[in-house]
């Protein structure tokens, strides 16, 4: 294994079922050359290690993670316009996708920006910036940074003091940028996770000034609107923000709140829209929680649903108890897909939508790992098992479409 300053290079080759790939072709708009073997990036945990590699094929063959690609974590990252931005060891690293894989182009010291803390989340704002953030410390202060992509420099950084609500502090946050506003989904309570709020709370700021905080509250349910591995808030094509809650007592510890449903709500024109609530729990015969969710466009969400009775200990979330469902926010339908139960809670990023298909990894505990191709809106059977990863107990935690 060869080590350089920024990446531990294991190999720059991607092994597919039929050999090696190193070529370029025009993209679907015929506007630029796309490094074919870097069209997608797959991140995985293998034993005690973490690796990521690039590929041009998610639907067929095999992708070799072990011994190929790069050693490191790529589940907390963003792929934007042919570049990959990923947290390193105290850095935010920028890499360019090429025919030979990733080429390092620069780093920003995140340790210098937030001494004694770190960033957990990285979001592409869609307007030439990255927003870095983390949940608050015990004082209720959350670190943030705004990165300009064109110059790869820091526009602004510091700690945000989120307002207290009814004597409670924000103890978990994750934001989504929507034009000139940013919405922080939250969990409010005491720093020891006692006294959890009995409603849904989001804090809105002007963006990018991060001024003029406004607390939004909804009483339709309880729990975290800041998600867990994934964000719980999604900006749809018309500018509305849809949001789910994570209301499992295994997450926030408040048993008394477990009777409240898992829902999707809508934030419209800067406030909770009381005319819209989608009760996901009502589509099941027992209590369920939404642990992860990913937006596929056109009001379609794919979500990891876990039945509460399946969790007897925290470690059960790493068992094959998660079920993948398709949620239509407009039609208010829930469709359980014919895909094996798996620990979907391990997936951070599933940012791969292409030609009406949504791609998601399925890593079975004690079994194999495959990429699955889902036809968006294709019903329970609109699924296809795709590329296989080598070995068992390989947990794919991130997948990106790069061009």
ω into 208 cis (within 30 of 0): yes
Confidence (pLDDT) at 32: 54
Tens digits of per-residue pLDDT, 183-236? Answer: 999 999 999 999 999 999 999 999 999 999 999 999 999 999 999 999 999 999
Confidence (pLDDT) at 17: 27
pLDDT of residue 1 exceeding 60: no
Mean pLDDT of the chain: 90
Tens digits of per-residue pLDDT, 324-361? Answer: 999 999 999 999 999 999 999 989 999 999 999 999 99
pTM: 0.91
Tens digits of per-residue pLDDT, 253-284? Answer: 999 999 999 999 999 999 999 999 999 999 99
pLDDT of residue 69 exceeding 60: yes
Rounded Cα distance between 162 and 310, Å, is: 35
Two tokens, residue 227 = 């998600």
Choice among 20-29, 123-132, 352-361 with the minimum mean pLDDT: 20-29
Two tokens, residue 355 = 């030609």
Q: Which helix (H) or strand (E) holds 201?
A: strand 200-206
Nearest to 194 by CA among 151, 256, 104: 256
DSSP sequence for 314-331:
GGGGGSTTBEEEEEETTT
3-state secondary structure of 112: helix
Choice among 77-81, 113-117, 229-233, 259-263 with the minimum mean pLDDT: 113-117
Q: Which helix (H) or strand (E) holds 250?
A: helix 249-252
Confidence tier at 2 by pLDDT (50, 70, 90): very low
- Domains of the chain, by residue range, sit at 1-75+347-403
Confidence (pLDDT) at 101: 87
The values of phi and psi at residue 314, to 5°, are: -55, -40
Confidence (pLDDT) at 65: 82
Two tokens, residue 23 = 């070529």
Q: What is the mean pLDDT of residues 68-72?
A: 86
Q: What is the mean pLDDT of residues 55-61?
A: 93
């Amino acid at each position: 294994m060869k080590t350089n300053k920024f990446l531990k290079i294991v190999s720059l080759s991607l092994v597919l079922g039929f050999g090696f790939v190193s070529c370029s072709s025009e993209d679907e708009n015929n506007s630029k050359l796309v490094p074919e073997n870097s069209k997608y990036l797959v991140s995985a945990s293998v034993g005690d290690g973490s690796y990521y590699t690039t590929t041009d094929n998610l639907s067929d063959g095999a992708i070799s993670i072990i011994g190929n690609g790069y050693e490191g974590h790529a589940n907390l990252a963003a792929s934007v316009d042919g570049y990959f931005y990923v947290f390193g060891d105290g850095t935010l690293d920028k890499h360019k996708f090429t025919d030979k894989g990733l080429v390092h182009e620069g780093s920003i010291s995140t340790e210098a920006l937030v001494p004694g803390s770190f960033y957990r989340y990285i979001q592409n704002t869609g307007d030439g910036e990255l927003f870095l953030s983390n949940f608050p410390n015990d004082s209720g202060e959350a670190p943030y940074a705004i990165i300009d992509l064109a110059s790869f420099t820091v526009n602004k950084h510091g700690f945000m003091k989120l307002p207290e609500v009814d004597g409670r502090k924000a103890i978990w946050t994750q934001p989504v940028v929507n034009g000139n506003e940013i919405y922080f989904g939250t969990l409010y309570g005491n720093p020891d996770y006692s006294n959890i709020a009995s409603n849904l709370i989001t804090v809105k700021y002007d963006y990018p000034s991060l001024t003029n905080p406004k607390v939004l509250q909804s009483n339709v349910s309880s729990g975290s609107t800041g998600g867990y591995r994934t964000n719980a808030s999604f900006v749809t094509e018309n500018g509305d923000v849809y949001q789910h809650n994570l209301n499992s007592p295994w997450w926030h510890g408040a048993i008394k709140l477990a009777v409240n449903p898992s829902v999707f709500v809508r934030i419209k024109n800067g406030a909770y829209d009381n005319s819209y609530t989608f009760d996901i729990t009502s589509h099941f015969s027992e209590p369920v929680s939404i642990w992860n969710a990913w937006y596929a466009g056109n009001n379609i969400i794919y979500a990891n649903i876990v039945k509460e009775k399946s969790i007897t200990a925290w470690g059960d979330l790493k068992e094959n108890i998660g079920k993948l469902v398709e949620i239509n926010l407009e039609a208010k339908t829930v469709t359980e897909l014919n895909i094996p139960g798996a620990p979907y809670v391990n997936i951070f990023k599933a940012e791969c939508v292409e030609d009406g298909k949504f791609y998601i990894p399925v890593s079975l505990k004690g079994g194999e790992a495959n990429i699955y191709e889902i036809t968006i809106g294709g019903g329970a059977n609109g699924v296809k098992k795709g590329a296989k990863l080598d070995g068992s107990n390989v947990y794919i935690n991130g997948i990106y479409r790069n061009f």
